[in-house]
Every structure is written in structure tokens, then in C-alpha cells.
Amino acid sequence: MYYMFPKGKRNAIYKILKETILTYYNFAKGMLLVYLLVGILNSAGLAIIGVPHALLFGFTAAILTFIPYIGIMVGALLPVVVVWVTQNSIWYPIAVLFVFGIVQLLEAYPIFHSP
């Protein structure tokens, strides 16, 4: 792409391309960190409740948060169904929803929007 522009403009194009690539790299690195932290928080919360395969469900839900609104619902639905079937109390599915709600609040506000 660099060679498609006239020689006089190549220096400016180089700077723009370099800045664009660096910005995208930083975005991807930041999102990876967000998914990692959300996965850890989800998994820890699910493990505290006693959900089987908490690590799997926690990180699956974290990756699905890439899809706005629907992703977290689908990610929470999986462990809700598992605890609903395996436990004999309605409080387990409610606790799973509570964990995902708290983690989403932490992701949306204090953790990642601090100065």
C-alpha cells in the first residue's frame, strides 16, 4: 500500500499506517486483557457457587461478550441450565445470573473506565 502513493506523500502515508497499526495493536491487546479478566472473574464466581466446569463456562461467557448484549445472555444461559438441571434449588440459577451481572457491572464501569 505504501508504494501506491507518490514519492512525496510516502512519508506521511508511512506515519499514518504506522499509527493505524499501533492503534489497532493496542486495541487488540486491551480487549484480550478485558476478556482475560472477565473470564477470571466469571470463573471465580461460578466456582464459588459450585457450578461444575466453572472455568469452561466463565471463559466461554467472556469470549461471547464480544457480541454486544446477546453474547453475555448466551454465555450466562449455559451455566444457568446446568445448575438448574443438576441442583435442586432455584437459588443456584439466580446466583449464576447475579455473578454475571456483577462481573458485567465491574467490566462496564470501575475496572476499565478508571482514569
Report yes or no on 82 lying in a domain. yes
Report yes or no on 63 lying in a domain. yes
Reported pTM: 0.79
The pLDDT of residue 8: 82
Report yes or no on 115 lying in a domain. no
The pLDDT of residue 25: 94
Report yes or no on 83 lying in a domain. yes
Find where cell 476499565 sits: 112
User: What domain range is 88 assigned to?
Assistant: 2-108
Task: Write the CA distances from 23 to 18, 34, 53, 60, 70, integer angstroms.
Answer: 9, 16, 36, 27, 27
Cβ atoms within 10 Å of 62's Cβ, excluding its own: 24
Q: Label residue 14 by pLDDT band (50, 70, 90).
A: confident
Cβ neighbours for 97, distance < 8 A, ≥ 6 positions apart? 76, 80
pLDDT at 111 over 70: no
The structural domain count of the chain equals: 1
Report yes or no on 113 lying in a domain. no
Report yes or no on 9 lying in a domain. yes
Report yes or no on 114 lying in a domain. no
